[in-house]
Structure 1
Amino acid sequence: MQSTLYKGLEFFIIFVLVPVSFTINYAPLVKGVIGLMGFIYIIYVLLKVEKLSFKIVPNLNWKSFWKATFLKLLIIVAITTVFVWTTNKESLFVVLLNKPKMWVIILFIYTFLSVYPQELVYRTFFFQRYQGLIKNEKFFLFLNAIIFSLGHIFFKNALVIVLTFLGGLLFAITYKKTNSTLLVSIEHAIYGCWLFTVGMGDMLGFPS
């Protein structure tokens, strides 16, 4: 078993040092290599150290999940639609209406190449490695949301930081309840795809 000191250093490098370093202007290729190396390390730790197997958790409560997710989505839809309508009306559903093929392609790429890897890192790995070190459950969920938000600091946008903190809190709670990377990835994908659809994709790095 790896020491608390080792895990603390690991946490600082992966979830603080690397994201903050991405705010500095240096070669994108180097950033890509750092990110890839970090992801490979995380997968290695999950498989070889933590002995996790990438299997769907049995007996998932799909009915409860879809009900909760749908209710949260309704709230998100209402708030974000009003926000885009009042702040930048021209962006409302702009990609869906003008570039539907690109809209479909981006949603597919985002779901499988962005959302799922993020959830492996920020929920599966984070919970598996550090949950045992922090006894206060509410603080642990709060910390997860903060770290998820920090992972988006390279956008240098205050609204993105707020949105990803709130999203991180929702995803942390879902993962805590379900212990399922699949379910939290579905939830993450639904909310993220909606933000792109409604017209908030620019600030989150989506093509437009």
Structure 2
Amino acid sequence: MRIPLSLFSIRVTEFIFLFVVLPLCLWQTKAYFAQYLLVILSMLGVSCALFLYREGKLTKQWKKAKAISWLEIKPVLLTFLVCASGIAVYAWFFSEKLVLNTTLLISSSWLLTLIFYPLFSVIPQELIFRTFLFHRYKLLFPSKKARMLVSSLCFGFGHVIYGSVMVVVLSIIAGLLFSYRYFLSGNTAIVIIEHTLWGLRLFAFNIGAYFSLSSMTS
């Protein structure tokens, strides 16, 4: 089916604004908006959720979330345990920086992280970079594999606001994992679980400081 040029142009413009221009603008103005990052992210997530609800996608995702089985969760946990264990062994022998932040784990802020990180960071990001992007921009990237790659790159570039090349690279790698999981399952809830596991692990170690709001203004 031939795609109208005007519709294609609108999608391209929209895509560039959301996933290129907006992150760059936030990066340039982070001195003013860093403290509102989670609010901005949540608002974008709600906007995408409303669009997905109108399209009937959110209802389908909710049904999938309620029907998650152990067979779907098992590969997520196995991947996490194997990779996280490998990183822990490397850190033990070769890195003094990647150590467990025991001070954080026994503080009240860790409890707040356990509650607010999934709600106001992980869920909006997965709605935006996975569910919304995969559905909305099918017109631009017909191949699901292409959308998987684009999703991971956009996810990584979205972290440019932290002003760290390492954060962007790590986010692209994580984005590949999350996009691949969504590619396989088509289930946002499963990706949210995996994203939460890896995010909390980063925060439990010193590397999580690079993804904190304080790192944006330092």
**Is 1:53 aligned with 2:62?**
no
What is the percentage of aligned positions where both structures have the same residue?
Answer: 26
Tell me what 2:129 maps to.
Answer: 122
CA distance in 2, matches of 1:97, 1:36: 25
- Quick one: which of 169, 179, 184 aligns to 2:186? 179
After superposition, the C-alpha distances for 1:124-175 in whole angstroms (9 at most, x for unaligned) are: 1111101243233332211110000011011121221121111111111111
- 1:76-87 to structure 2, matched below 5 A, reads 76-81=83-88, 82-83=90-91, 86-87=94-95
CA distance in 2, matches of 1:207, 1:62: 38
Equivalenced residues, count: 206
**Is 1:11 aligned with 2:15?**
yes
Q: List gaps (5 residues or longer) in structure 2.
A: none
- 1:102-117 to structure 2, matched below 5 A, reads 102-117=109-124
**Change beyond 3 A, Cα 1:177–1:127:** same
Tell me, what secondary structure is at the counterpart of 1:135? coil
Deviation at residue 63 of structure 1 after TM alignment: 2.7
**Change beyond 3 A, Cα 1:40–1:61:** closer
Tell me what 1:44 maps to.
Answer: 50
Deviation at residue 83 of structure 1 after TM alignment: 3.7
**Change beyond 3 A, Cα 1:145–1:84:** farther
CA distance in 2, matches of 1:123, 1:168: 9
- Which 4+ stretches in 1 moved above 6 angstroms? none
- 1:1-208 to structure 2, matched below 5 A, reads 3-25=7-29, 27-28=32-33, 38-48=44-54, 50-54=55-59, 55-57=62-64, 60=67, 62-81=69-88, 82-83=90-91, 86-89=94-97, 92-95=99-102, 99-205=106-212
Moved more, 57-66 or 155-164: 57-66
TM-score w.r.t. the length of structure 1 is: 0.83
TM-score w.r.t. the length of structure 2 is: 0.79
**Change beyond 3 A, Cα 1:83–1:29:** closer
CA RMSD of the aligned region, Å? 3.0
**Change beyond 3 A, Cα 1:162–1:75:** farther
